[in-house]
Amino acid sequence: MTLFPTVLLTGALPDASRAHLERHGIVLVDAHEHPDVEVVTAGATPVRGARGTVVLTGAHPSPEVTALLAAHGVTVQDAGPGRVTLGRPVPLPSAAVDLDLLAWTSSPVLDVPATLVLDGEGVSAVARVLRDTDAEGATGPVVVALCDATAEGTGPVVVVSADLDEGPAAVEMLLDAVHAAAADRPLTAEPAAAAHASDLVQHPAWLRLRADVGALRALQVKDGSIPDTDAHPEARRLAAAIAGAVSTLVPFVPHDEDYLAAVTKDLARWVDDGFGVPDFLDSLVLFHPERLRVDGLRHLVLFPMYTQNGSTDRRFEAVLLEVRWPEIVAHLEATRFSNRMFVPVRFLDFTAGYDTNSAVLFPETVAVREVPVFTWGAIFADREAARFRRVVRAAAETTRLALPPDAARLLDDQRLAEETFVLWDLVHDRTHMRGDLPFDPFMIKQRMPYFLYSLEELRCDLTAFRHAVALERDGVPHARYVQYAVLFDRIFRFPVTGTRVRNYDGLGGQLLFAWLHQHHVLDWTDSRLTVDWPRVPDAVIALGEQIEQLYWRSIDRPKTAHWLAAYDLVSATLTPHPASVWAGGKAALPVDGLPKDLTDAMLPDEFPLSMFYEALARKIGDVVASTSGITA
Sequence-distant (≥ 6) Cβ neighbours of residue 195 within 8 angstroms: 189
Note if the pTM is more than 0.85.
Answer: yes
Mean pLDDT to the nearest integer, 120-131:
71
| Tens-place pLDDT, residues 157-170 | 999 999 998 788 99
| Residues facing residue 37 across a β-bridge | 7, 52
- Whether residue 537 is predicted with pLDDT greater than 90 in this model: the reply is yes
| Tens-place pLDDT, residues 231-241 | 999 999 999 99
- Whether residue 307 is predicted with pLDDT greater than 60 in this model: the reply is yes
What DSSP letter does each residue of 361-428 carry, written as one string? E-GGGB--SS------EEEEHHHHHHHHHHHHHHHHHHHTPPBPHHHHHHHH-HHHHHHHHHHHHHHH
Contact 409, 376 (CB under 8 A): no
pLDDT of residue 529: 96
What DSSP designation does 433 have? T
| Tens-place pLDDT, residues 40-75 | 999 999 998 898 999 999 999 999 999 999 888 899
pLDDT of residue 133: 45
Closest C-alpha among 103, 625, 100, 184 to residue 390 = 625
pLDDT of residue 266: 98
Among positive and negative, which fits the CA dihedral 33, 38, 40, 44? positive
Domain boundaries, the chain: 6-181, 192-375, 404-625
Phi, psi at 118, each rounded to 5°: -105, 120
Closest C-alpha among 588, 618, 621, 592 to residue 603 = 588
Q: State the chain's mean pLDDT as an integer.
A: 92
3-state secondary structure of 511: helix
| Tens-place pLDDT, residues 254-294 | 999 999 999 999 999 999 999 999 999 999 999 999 999 99
C-alpha R_g of the chain: 28
pLDDT of residue 598: 96
137 — pLDDT class (breaks 50, 70, 90): very low
Q: Which CATH number fits domain 6-181: 3.40.50, 3.30.70, 2.40.128, 2.30.30?
A: 3.40.50
Closest C-alpha among 315, 318, 298 to residue 241 = 318
